[in-house]
Amino acid sequence: MAAMKGWKLHQMDVFNAFLQGDLLEELTEALLASGFHQSLHDYSLFTKTVGAHIVLILVYVDDLIITGSCSTLIEEAKSLLHHHFKIKDLGELRYFLGLEIARSDQGILICQRKFTLDLIADMGLAGSKPASTPLEPNQKLTSFEFDQGHEGDTNDELLADPRSYQKLVGKLLYLTMTRPDISFTIQNLSQFMHNPKKSHMEAALRVVRYLKNAPELGILLS
C-alpha cells in the first residue's frame, strides 16, 4: 500500500520486549484504547482513520512499521507508542527482519543482498564460478530409496551429516521470499531433507553459485 500510495515508511523498535510480558497483547490494548482497529485477517496489523486519512501499524514481536497518508497522524501514533512503551524511533524503513528496503521513483525494492553474500561466503563459494541457471538442465533428482529399487546411481551416496544440507536448504527457502527465480529448484531440493545424497548437496550448492550472478536481485513493489 505504501508503494502504491507513495507513503513514507517508518520503523520503531521496542526495548526489552521480552521483559514486558506479551508485547503484542499490551500493544493491542493500548492501540485499541486509542481508536485503532485490529485487522481480522492479520492480528499484527492495526489501522486508524481520521476523516479521509489513515495510519497503519504493523507489529512483529518488538519491531514495528508505521505508514499512512498523513504525517500528523503518524507522529501522533509514534507519540502514543512512546507514552506506553520504551521505544526507539529508527527513522525511515531500510532494514526489516533481514529484508533490505530501498525506495526510488519506481517504487520499493525488497531484497536480501547481505543475507545472500553471507551465504555465499559461509559456503566457501566466494571465489567459485557463478552458475548460469539454478538447476542443471535436464537433471533429474531422485531419492536414495528410488535408486535402490530402480537400479539408480548406487555411487550417489547418502550424506554422512544431513544437517548441513538441511541447514542450507532452509536458508535458501528463506531467500525465496525475494527470489522467486529459485523457488522451483528449492521446492525440488526440499523433498530430500530426510535422506539427502551427495547429488542433492551439489545441486543446492549450484543454487548458491547461481545467486552470485546478482545477489542484489529482489522484488520491486511498483
**Cα–Cα distance, 75 to 78 (Å, whole number):** 5
68: three-class secondary structure by DSSP: strand
What is the helix (H) or strand (E) element at residue 109, kind and residue range? Answer: strand 107-111
Has residue 20 got a pLDDT over 60?
no
pLDDT tens by residue, 33-66 = 999 999 988 889 999 999 999 999 999 888 999 9
Residue 175 near residue 182 (C-beta atoms within 8 A): yes
What is the helix (H) or strand (E) element at residue 181, kind and residue range? Answer: none
Please tell me the predicted confidence (pLDDT) of residue 25.
82
Residue 103 near residue 34 (C-beta atoms within 8 A): no
7 band by pLDDT with thresholds 50, 70 and 90: very high
As a whole number, mean pLDDT of residues 113-137 equals 96
* Cβ neighbour number for residue 77 with a 10 Å cutoff: 24
Mean pLDDT of the chain: 91
- State residue 123 phi and psi, 5-degree precision: -85, 5
Determine if residue 78 is left, alpha or beta; phi over 0 gives left, psi from -120 to 50 gives alpha, anything else beta.
alpha
Please tell me the predicted confidence (pLDDT) of residue 162.
94
- State residue 109 phi and psi, 5-degree precision: -100, 125
pLDDT over 90 percentage in the chain: 76
Q: Which residue has the higher pLDDT, 196 or 149?
A: 196
Of residues 210, 203, 131, the one with CA closest to residue 165: 203
**Cα–Cα distance, 215 to 98 (Å, whole number):** 14
Please tell me the predicted confidence (pLDDT) of residue 100.
96
Looking up cell 514495528, which residue turns up? 64
What is the helix (H) or strand (E) element at residue 165, kind and residue range? Answer: helix 162-175
Extents of the domains making up the chain: 2-93, 113-217
pLDDT tens by residue, 164-178 = 999 999 999 999 999
Has residue 208 got a pLDDT over 70?
yes
Q: Which residue has the higher pLDDT, 150 or 178?
A: 178
2-93 maps to CATH 1.10.510:
no
Q: What is the DSSP letter of 157?
A: P
As a whole number, mean pLDDT of residues 70-93 equals 93
Residue 82 near residue 95 (C-beta atoms within 8 A): no
Of residues 143, 159, 136, 109, the one with CA closest to residue 209: 136
Looking up cell 501522533, which residue turns up? 76
